[in-house]
Amino acid sequence: MRTDTARRRRFGRRKVCPFCADKSLYIDYKTPSMLKRFISERGRIVPRRISGVCAQHQRQLQMAVKRARMVALMPYSTTGID
């Protein structure tokens, strides 16, 4: 008695952290162009399961985005901009 959802479950290939794969990349709050890759269109930080970033780099990324927002290099949200 398996349900339809159990049969349709698919597991994709595990995403590789771009910062672990390429050691020359580093997370810095002063580079908003790089940080924008990890921000959704609504201005939220993309979670690890979607972005593929490892836990250590996700914490560094979170702090960098928050610092960039604090010094006005990145917006807090994009809902009011039109």
Residue 35 has pLDDT above 70, yes or no: yes
Question: What domains, with CATH codes, occur in the chain?
Answer: 12-70 (4.10.640.10)
Quick check: 29 and 71 in contact, CB under 8 A? yes
pLDDT tens-digit readout, 11-33: 777 789 999 999 999 999 999 99
Q: What angle do CA 76, 77, 82 make, to 5 degrees?
A: 135
Q: Which residue has the higher pLDDT, 9 or 64?
A: 64
Q: Which residue has the higher pLDDT, 82 or 36?
A: 36
pLDDT tens-digit readout, 39-68: 999 999 999 999 999 999 999 999 999 999
CA distance 52 to 17: 5
